[in-house]
């Protein structure tokens, strides 16, 4: 089981480069508190950069970072890397991963991206061959989703079975799971 996190973060405010918003501190905190927690963090603004890092993530060399965390703005079926002209769809991601996701998990740390039919999510999972697709159907508050993300990454470290992780998240953090519109397809 390789559940280190490979985080790719978009630009939260592409019009103000002095904006320091980032999930990197959350990852750093987890690595300080949980001695077994490992992560790689990269920031992107263009589709070509995202594709580059996705291909790196799929390499055997990075297999122990089996959780792909995509931290960026979103809307149904779409991730926004840096403004309206820099978007990527689930179909684009599916094409880049191209069945190479065996044994891995994709987490969409973005608003609304998984506000699509369950069959569409299952097709994405099937075509990428990932073990699980996790994310949100709702527009989420940054702090609430960040707290949930830390809980999720913690559970991914300690439980082997994805169905157990989903159950723990939905039962232990029921209100937050519902408010965020948690999607967990494994």
Structure token pair of residue 178: 């519902």
pLDDT of residue 19: 80
Mean pLDDT on 146-167:
94
Beta bridge partners of 107: 69, 134
Orientation angle between helical segments 24-33 and 142-158, nearest 10 degrees: 40
Instruction: Identify each DSSP E strand in the chain by its residue range.
Output: 5-9, 39-43, 67-71, 73-75, 78-80, 87-89, 105-109, 132-136, 182-185
Least Cα distance to 8 among 28, 29, 22 occurs for 22
Give 53-77 pLDDT, tens digit per residue: 999 999 999 999 999 999 999 999 9
Residue ranges of domains in the chain, CATH in brackets: 5-185 (3.40.50.1460)
Separation of alpha carbons 184 and 167, rounded Å: 10
pLDDT band of 20, cuts 50, 70, 90 = confident
Give 114-149 pLDDT, tens digit per residue: 999 999 999 999 999 999 999 999 999 999 999 999
What's the burial of 179, exposed, middle or buried (CB within 10 Å: 0-12/13-18/19+)?
Answer: middle
| CA separation, residue 14 to residues 17, 62, 74, 80 (Å) | 6, 29, 14, 10
């Amino acid at each position: 089981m390789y559940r280190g996190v490979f985080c790719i973060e978009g630009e939260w405010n592409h019009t103000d480069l002095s904006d320091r918003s980032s999930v990197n501190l959350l990852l750093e905190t987890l690595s300080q508190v949980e001695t077994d927690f490992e992560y790689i963090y990269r920031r992107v603004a263009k589709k070509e950069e995202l594709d580059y890092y996705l291909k790196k993530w799929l390499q055997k060399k990075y297999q122990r970072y089996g959780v792909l965390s995509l931290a960026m703005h979103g809307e149904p079926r779409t991730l926004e890397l840096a403004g309206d002209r820099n978007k990527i769809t689930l179909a684009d991601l599916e094409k880049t991963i191209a069945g190479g996701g065996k044994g891995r998990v994709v987490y969409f740390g973005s608003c609304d991206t998984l506000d699509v039919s369950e069959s569409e999510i299952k097709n994405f999972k099937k075509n990428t061959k990932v073990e699980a697709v996790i994310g949100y159907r709702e527009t989420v508050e940054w702090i609430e989703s960040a707290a949930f993300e830390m809980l999720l990454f913690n559970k991914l470290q300690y439980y082997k079975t994805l169905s157990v992780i989903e159950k723990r998240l939905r039962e232990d953090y029921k209100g937050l799971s519902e408010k965020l519109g948690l999607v967990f397809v494994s």
